[in-house]
Amino acid sequence: MLDLTLIPASNAVLPEVRINRHWIGGAVVPSRDGDGWTERQSPSHGVVVSRSARGTAADAEAAIAAARTAFDDGRWSQLSGKARATVLLKVADLIEANVDRMALIETLESGKPITQARGEVSGAADLWRYAASLARTLHGDSHNSLGADMLAVVLKEPIGVVSIITPWNFPFWILSQKLPFALAAGCTCVVKPSELTPSTTVMLAELLAEAGLPAGVVNIVLGLGQPVGATLASDPRVDMITFTGSTAVGKGIAAAASGTLKKVALELGGKNPQVIFPDADLESAVDAVVFGIYFNVGQCCNSGSRIIVHQDIAEAFTARVVDLSRQVAFGDPLDPATQVGAIVSPEHGAKIDGYVTAARKSGATVALGGGPLQIPGLAPQFYQPTVVTGVTPDMAIAREEVFGPVLTVLTFRTLDEALRLVNDADYGLSAGVWSENVHTCLAFARGTQAGTVWTNTWMDGFPEVTFGGVKQSGLGREIGSYGLDEFMEIKSLVMRIGRSRAPWVRGQG
């Protein structure tokens, strides 16, 4: 008997099917070649909720051309930081005014709970505000101690035209980790959202225009990775590509970008561990583990998908995780009581189940869940909260990104052993430690190969605090002031003061 907490269909009335087209040069435009469309069925409700133009390479090229012209004529890059900040702040206000509208379609396209979609959209407004503050404060360096006759300054300049490719799991948040920072820097952009969740990106176009962003500064082209994303990665008129998505596609993007040596920034997958010591506040740790694995149905780059628990407490701790998992509300994403919604696609659900089946076959124990979940009145695209014990570090379920509500449990005896398990991974996005001993926490933080380390918390983030991965979790950083720097080129300006330079030819002797 599973004994889970389920929220049945709320029978909410769904909005009309949304139509999305490209946004190029400040106008809504149809596809250039043919009239291909991609329909998005709601993962939770099983009905079509949006229909989006399926662009071709020609559409991507038109968007790049618009961004290139807009950058080169200086309509945005030559504005003062104050003027750029004014637009970004207006965008933030407009996002806040449209939270409900945007959150509803985000929920229907992605399957995530409405409360979390609202949080994502309103939280994104804060990213726009923070980026506005950076637009006004960005500056380079000066070198005033090179000698009496020399002065050098290091200028920061916008890198140019930036391609932005985003995934489906946090469509509006991830867009907002990139776009306002690129705009604060003075760049122009071409954006390709995931074909599964394009609507909030297209809605943003209207808000950008209303906020006074000049035409052509942001262009949105809809379609599949091939050919649209691939064109954004390889076109010589693009100066930088910033991508969030799977490690496999990220590697392909780096290869495609190498032909023109454009700058590449990648935010990729993770297999993020939380290590629990016996002296931890175990109640808080259990709650954070449950949050870390089920938030967004585990479809998070930051999902805390493997816990590494001290052997002395492993059995009792896992039992508490299983108990608390039963209390998490899985069900209709449109019901505000729901905490966990639907899996993004049937194919992805099958992939999740494949990992659990393989682990079972290799001798692991499924302590909870381990199969699809039918929510009364909704589409068959949910997965049970799942806890897998008896896992060994070599199993695929312990090493690869499952991207579902599936937690694996490993055990350790010493800090060194825990660190070996943590670092024995291709990924290095985030990691966490639970202990009341500050020395344990600091030793863990120093020894961990990860872009972010959380101590006694999980998945807390702030616009001020930079984010990114090491190893195969990515290249470069987002948000914080480092996030702005990614979109800037550095130019050194070296100046002689007066006529003090001895001639090279006749000044030798």
Give me the residues that bind ligand NAD (CB under 6 A), please.
Answer: 165-170, 174, 192, 194-195, 224-226, 229-230, 233, 244-246, 249, 252-253, 267-270, 301, 401, 403, 429, 469, 474
Give CA separation, 487 vs 161, 242, 249, 378, in Å: 10, 9, 21, 43
Given the residues 301, 441, 478, 486, select the one marked as catalytic: 301
Radius of gyration (C-alpha) of the chain in whole angstroms: 25
The gap from C-alpha 130 to its chain's centroid, in whole angstroms, comes to: 17
Q: Is residue 454 within 8 Å of 270, Cβ to Cβ? A: no
Q: Before 227, cis peptide (omega within 30)?
A: yes
Given the residues 109, 267, 401, 486, select the one marked as catalytic: 267
**CB of residue 12 vs ligand NAD: minimum separation in angstroms?**
26
Residue 441 is among the residues annotated as catalytic for this protein: no
Residue number, 105 or 286, with CB nearest to ligand NAD: 105
**CB of residue 79 vs ligand NAD: minimum separation in angstroms?**
29
**CB of residue 229 vs ligand NAD: minimum separation in angstroms?**
2
Dihedral through CA 226, CA 227, CA 228, CA 229, nearest 10? 40
Give CA separation, 505 vs 150, 434, 496, 508, 509, in Å: 21, 67, 18, 7, 10
Residue number, 249 or 314, with CB nearest to ligand NAD: 249
Residue number, 322 or 344, with CB nearest to ligand NAD: 344
**CB of residue 503 vs ligand NAD: minimum separation in angstroms?**
54
Residue number, 107 or 197, with CB nearest to ligand NAD: 197
Q: At what angle do helices 415-423 and 438-447 cross, to 10 degrees?
A: 30
Residues 6+ apart with CB under 8 A from 450: 272, 422, 428, 429, 430, 431, 469, 470, 473
CA–CA separation, 191 and 195 (whole Å)? 12
Residue number, 107 or 473, with CB nearest to ligand NAD: 473
Report residue 414 as tokens: 């010493």
Q: Is residue 8 within 8 Å of 390, Cβ to Cβ? A: no
Residue 267 is among the residues annotated as catalytic for this protein: yes
- DSSP tag of 311: T
Give CA separation, 306 vs 52, 53, 485, in Å: 37, 39, 32
**CB of residue 243 vs ligand NAD: minimum separation in angstroms?**
7
Residues 6+ apart with CB under 8 A from 147: none
Residue number, 252 or 447, with CB nearest to ligand NAD: 252
**CB of residue 266 vs ligand NAD: minimum separation in angstroms?**
8
The residues annotated with a catalytic role in the active site are: 267, 301
